Amino acid sequence: MTRHMLRIAAIALLLPLSAQLALRAQEVRVLDGQRYTVHTVVAGQTLYGISRHYAVPLEALLKANPAAAQGLSIGQVLLVPQEAVQRKDLRGAPKFRATGELVHTVARKETLFGIAQRYGVEQTDLIARNPELKDGLKTGMELVIPPATDKAVPMTAAIPARSDSSRIHQVQAGETLFGLGKAYGVSVEALQQANGGLADGLRVGTYLRIPAPVAPPTASVDTLRRPVRYKVGLMLPLCLDRNDSIHAADPEHKGLYEVTRIAGQFLAGARLAIDSMAGKGMQLDVHLYDVGEDATTWGPVLRKGEVRTMDLFIGPFHRGAIDQLAAISREAHIVCPVPQSNKVILGHPQVSKVVSGRTEQLHHMARFAAARFARENLVVLRPDLPAEKDLQDQLQRAVQTALADRPDRLRDSLLVAHPGRRGLGDLSGKLDPARLNVLLAPSEDVEFVSALVTQLRPLVGKYRITLFGMPTWTNMDVLQPADLDELDLHVPAAAYADRQSPAVRAFVERFRSAYGTDAGPYAFLGFDVTMFYLTALYEDGPGFPERMDPVLTTPLHMGFRMRRLGMENGFGNESAVMLEYRDQGVHLVR
């Protein structure tokens, strides 16, 4: 993004926002080896209409989405099984209108009777919905299909999606009905009833309908009082003056000042999220502030009277600026959108830190390993490295706790091994030739990690091994990608943009179309963070921080599991992603 484009983007944020909805690409998800197309329900759509659109039998759609048997909700996410697609019907499958109704394109030799029978409607209803039929049926004509009335179509499958108080939750590894019920304030029985009984239990990656609690929380009074328009402050280190001075001193200087480039990418991604929320009907007054890199710049900005009137702040990036803003604005929520230590939320109950740190990523690794490999030979590696004893203790406790909830676990007590820098120590005697050996190595010591990989690599032919390491391993030049492939290395990370994902590809194209440049990591961060917190504000008003669990967005590269870290402190993000090495590269684990 050039300096000129950056200034245009900054000024544009202060103008009325676009009301156009962002185009969504169709995501494909793989669960238990089966591929599913992900469909988000919009107003007017019916379950029967969705089955016709994708050329999938209604029974197969219901089997993959038990909650849909209770009727559809606007915003509900459905998994459409690709293996159930009837190829002969797919070519002539109907499209959706913006109203949610089906549109059928008349093919050669089709009759009005045949079309009505195909969609389970009466011919009279079809004619009433399409007055142009009075002049006869013509090839290529587009007909709007009214809701099905055939008795063979269940009533709930023919009722258009409704707006209700239920939420949609995607099941994560290690989650239980009891835990979800506790998190959302509903009973296990209510969850089962809202999701077709859940006879097969929870399946990771599927979507649950979360019914509204019987007794709404007292804090919901905030929803009744929320304003029609929200005031949002974007506090970014654009450093425009610094960037201009660099170019004034050296006209031949290419590119942007690095901090300006980062903030500009974040701003551009945030702008696309703001446009998307405006398209959903959210009314916003967005104020953009250049808070620079030090107190001489952010101090005067924070003293402006209008700052006290904001409902939400995204930024600042700097901890010092966040501390000062938190002291000035005690009501509005403040989002720290970049990596920081947990100290940034200590004593600041109105602050969120959205990029998970090492501790959160370690716990994610433990939950992931326990959920996927409970039946395998799990071994925690504890080399004699005094500086990493706390790290080893954290991981061992986290894995043991996660395994306690797994009735299918191989053993009650986790195996522990003590390899060294020059040998595998007692690890050799704890490898199982009959099972997958899942080795968890919570170490950031380059010498130990390098020796461990070197010593394990020759054992791959004799044992099946999956190795878990730390995020820092991805930056260790001493490790060879081919060795990490062979050891099936897994590492946690705060975020990762899968460039092969349809949603990510669509965003990259949209970004390039809007700004004429490529979307980088901070563009994804700007979009995801802004989309999540604007959605939370839109759905629950200024009191949203106490009810962030049910907030549902479709992030491009990071998840949000916001948890308050003590009554006097703010919120940290427990979410992380798992990456794996294959084909000598890093890939997202689905």
Give the DSSP letter string of 335-364: EE-S---GGGGTT-TTEEE-S--HHHHHHH
Domain end call among 460, 493, 526: 493
Indicate the pLDDT class of residue 26, thresholds 50, 70 and 90: low
Task: Give yes or no: residues 488 and 507 share one domain.
Answer: no
Indicate the pLDDT class of residue 245, thresholds 50, 70 and 90: confident
Neighbours of 98 (CB within 10 A): 9
pLDDT surpasses 70 at 8: no
Task: Give yes or no: residues 86 and 202 share one domain.
Answer: yes
Under 8 Å between Cβ of 450 and 414? no
DSSP secondary structure string, 227-247? -SEEEEEEEE---HHHHHHHH
Q: In the prediction, which pLDDT does 202 show?
A: 79
Number of separate domains in the chain: 3
Tens-place pLDDT, residues 101-127: 899 999 999 999 999 998 988 888 899
pLDDT surpasses 80 at 132: yes
The partner residues of 436 in beta bridges, in order of sequence, read 464
Look up the domain containing 42 and give its range: 28-210
Neighbours of 123 (CB within 10 A): 14
Indicate the pLDDT class of residue 20, thresholds 50, 70 and 90: very low
Span of 45-49, 311-315, 529-533 with lowest mean pLDDT: 45-49
Cβ neighbours of residue 560 closer than 8 Å, sequence gap 6 or more: 354, 532, 548, 551, 553, 573, 575
Under 8 Å between Cβ of 440 and 578? no
Distance CA 247, CA 255 (A): 9
Under 8 Å between Cβ of 459 and 431? yes
Q: In the prediction, which pLDDT does 566 show?
A: 82
Task: Give yes or no: residues 376 and 450 share one domain.
Answer: yes
Task: Give yes or no: residues 167 and 119 share one domain.
Answer: yes
Measured in Å, how far apart are the chain's first and last C-alpha atoms? 32
Indicate the pLDDT class of residue 138, thresholds 50, 70 and 90: very high
On whether residue 280 sits in a domain, the answer given is yes
Q: In the prediction, which pLDDT does 373 show?
A: 93
The partner residues of 203 in beta bridges, in order of sequence, read none
Domain end call among 210, 231, 248: 210
Distance CA 427, CA 378 (A): 12
Task: Give yes or no: residues 474 and 532 share one domain.
Answer: no
- Quickly tell me which residue has 């930024």 as its tokens: 315
Q: Which pair of structure tokens corresponds to residue 104?
A: 């059928």
Residue type, 472: T
For 245-267, what is the mean pLDDT? 82
Long-range contacts of 300-309 (CB under 8 A, 24+ apart): 301/235, 302/328, 303/328, 307/233, 309/231
Q: In the prediction, which pLDDT does 31 show?
A: 81
On whether residue 216 sits in a domain, the answer given is no
For 231-259, what is the mean pLDDT? 83
Query: Is 475 or 24 the better-scoring residue by pLDDT?
Result: 475
Span of 21-30, 120-129, 483-492, 556-565 with lowest mean pLDDT: 21-30
Task: Give yes or no: residues 384 and 521 share one domain.
Answer: no
pLDDT surpasses 90 at 525: yes
For 13-18, what is the mean pLDDT? 34
pLDDT surpasses 70 at 418: yes
On whether residue 573 sits in a domain, the answer given is no
Task: Give yes or no: residues 170 and 70 share one domain.
Answer: yes
Distance CA 49, CA 145 (A): 9
Task: Give yes or no: residues 508 and 386 share one domain.
Answer: no
Q: What is the dihedral of CA 90, 96, 100, 104, to 10 degrees?
A: -80
Under 8 Å between Cβ of 29 and 270? no
Q: In the prediction, which pLDDT does 100 show?
A: 82
On whether residue 583 sits in a domain, the answer given is no
Query: Is 502 or 345 the better-scoring residue by pLDDT?
Result: 345
Q: In the prediction, which pLDDT does 215 show?
A: 47
Query: 270-302 b/e with 16+ CB inside 10 Å = b?
Result: bbbbbbbbbeeebebbbbbbbbbbeeebbeebb
Task: Give yes or no: residues 48 and 10 share one domain.
Answer: no
Q: In the prediction, which pLDDT does 25 show?
A: 44
CATH number of the domain bearing residue 489: 3.40.50.2300
3-class DSSP string for 50-109: HHHHCCCCHHHHHHHCHHHHHCCECCCEEEEEHHHCCHHHHCCCCEECCCCCEEEECCCC
Task: Give yes or no: residues 276 and 316 share one domain.
Answer: yes
Distance CA 146, CA 120 (A): 9
On whether residue 114 sits in a domain, the answer given is yes
On whether residue 101 sits in a domain, the answer given is yes
Domain end call among 447, 467, 493: 493
Q: In the prediction, which pLDDT does 3 show?
A: 44
Task: Give yes or no: residues 339 and 368 share one domain.
Answer: no
pLDDT surpasses 70 at 1: no
Q: Give the rounded percent of residues in the chain with a pLDDT score beyond 90.
A: 50
pLDDT surpasses 70 at 22: no
pTM greater than 0.85 (yes/no): no
On whether residue 127 sits in a domain, the answer given is yes
The number of angstroms, rounded, from the C-alpha of 197 to the middle of its chain's C-alpha atoms is 26
For 500-528, what is the mean pLDDT? 91
On whether residue 475 sits in a domain, the answer given is yes
pLDDT surpasses 80 at 168: no
Task: Give yes or no: residues 159 and 248 share one domain.
Answer: no
Using only C-alpha atoms, the chain has a radius of gyration, in whole angstroms, of: 27
